[in-house]
């Protein structure tokens, strides 16, 4: 009999250090292969990630319910960064980062009720409120309606009186009521937020808007004080400048800013896996630059990425971009060193 109290598996791992490296396609798919925690068990982590696998409020193509799992799986490619405790150089930002300084918990998915929007919204709000008391919330959607209860839950959990919203999106989502979809669908989320007790249109900034809105939309935006930045504004001023202005406008006299990134803000040639694609959107480089700026802002207290519908992208590029955006955001906010490589 072997007198060694350790198991054969333990002895193998001790003898083969490579056993502790989990390949991108192996293991359990949590975000960045972070440990799983129940949302009410998060205590010391910087970041809590939760999925919202709900797309019962879409007006076009469904499929965003599969977004959270696809983004988690795609994030496995970057999980190896977690193991480089000595730091790495980001060749895009030219900055030194140490992912060993970043602590993440994956809290699994919010319970959803596919045939019951009201109960689903209540569930989202409750779970996001609980997470926001404990860590920086990162939310994986799900259709864009999910941002409304997430926003309210974040405000509740942080005890914020006024919360600004920065929305990166092809659409404004300011429909108050649709004859077909009612008052609560993914085209009404910003209207619901602006008319909630936590915000108003003067604290809403919208970036990358394009396509078509009501004939009097610009008049509406001016009347309510909406901070509007269309794709033409980005072409003229550059994405970094626009995002800086958008955050500043949303943060003015607000306690904190919530950022929502609808993946259809990106051009569908880059991110086709979404329910309502609109040509002429952000490039991948512009999207990454946007989250670099967002991650550097002390005003930002929460982030979500919505409307990733992976079944429409056989290349899997959409969820890969979404994961890269989140890695870039968290790197800039929590893992970037003070010293730079240049």
| 3-class secondary-structure state, position 325 | helix
> Is position 264 annotated in a ligand binding site?
yes
What is the Cα Rg of the chain in Å? 20
Taking CA atoms, 336 is separated from 83, 243, 297, 327, in Å, by: 15, 20, 13, 12
Strands 336-340 and 95-97 come out as antiparallel
Q: Is 169 annotated as a binding-site member?
A: yes
Element (H, E) at 320: helix 317-330
| Alpha carbons 102 and 107: distance in angstroms, whole number | 16
55 in a labelled binding site: no
DSSP string, 250-302: HHTT-SEEEEEEEGGGB-TTT---SSS--SS-B-HHHHHHHHHHHHT-TTEEE
CA distance 150 to 157: 10
Asked if 280 and 210 count as a contact pair (C-beta separation under 8 A), the reply is yes
Tokens representing residue 150 in the block: 């997430």
Q: How far apart are CA 82 and CA 229, in angstroms?
A: 35
109 marked among binding-site residues: no
Backbone φ, ψ for residue 254 (5° rounding): -110, 160
Q: How far apart are the first and last CA of the chain?
A: 59
Among residues 76, 56, 77, 78, the alpha carbon closest in space to that of 65 is found at 56
Is 267 flagged in the annotation as binding? no
Question: Is 173 annotated as ligand-binding?
Answer: yes
Binding-site residues from annotation: 144, 169, 171, 173, 262, 264
User: Binding site residues for Mn(2+), as ranges?
Assistant: 144, 169, 171, 173, 262, 264
């Amino acid at each position: 009999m072997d007198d060694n109290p350790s198991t054969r598996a333990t002895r193998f791992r001790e003898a083969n250090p490579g056993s502790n490296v989990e390949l991108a396609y192996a293991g359990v798919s949590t975000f960045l292969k972070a440990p799983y925690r129940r949302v009410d068990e998060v205590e010391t982590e910087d970041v809590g990630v939760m999925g919202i696998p709900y797309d019962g409020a879409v007006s076009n193509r469904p499929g965003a319910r599969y977004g959270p799992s696809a983004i988690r799986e795609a994030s496995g490619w970057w999980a190896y960064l977690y193991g480089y405790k000595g730091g790495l150089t980001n060749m895009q930002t030219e900055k030194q980062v140490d992912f060993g300084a970043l602590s993440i918990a994956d809290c699994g998915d919010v319970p959803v009720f596919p045939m019951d929007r009201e109960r689903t919204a209540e569930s989202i709000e409750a779970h996001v409120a609980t997470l926001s008391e404990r860590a920086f919330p990162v939310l994986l959607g799900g259709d864009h309606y999910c941002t409304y209860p997430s926003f309210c839950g974040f405000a509740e959990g942080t005890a914020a009186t006024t919360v600004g919203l920065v929305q990166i999106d092809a659409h404004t989502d300011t429909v108050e009521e649709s004859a077909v979809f009612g008052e609560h669908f993914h085209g009404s989320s910003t209207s619901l937020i602006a008319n909630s007790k936590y915000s108003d249109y003067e604290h809403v900034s919208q970036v990358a808007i394009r396509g078509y809105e009501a004939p009097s939309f610009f008049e509406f935006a001016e009347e309510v004080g909406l901070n509007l930045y269309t794709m033409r504004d980005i072409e003229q001023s550059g994405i970094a400048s626009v995002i800086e202005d958008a955050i500043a406008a949303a943060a003015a006299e607000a306690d904190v800013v919530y950022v929502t990134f609808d993946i259809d803000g990106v051009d569908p040639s880059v991110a086709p896996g979404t329910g309502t694609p609109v040509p002429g959107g952000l490039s991948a480089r512009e999207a990454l630059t946007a989250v670099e700026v967002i991650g550097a802002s002390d005003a930002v207290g929460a982030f979500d990425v919505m409307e990733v519908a992976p079944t429409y992208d056989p290349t899997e590029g959409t969820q890969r971009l979404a994961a890269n955006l989140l890695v870039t955001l968290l790197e800039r906010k929590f893992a970037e060193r003070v010293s730079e490589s240049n």
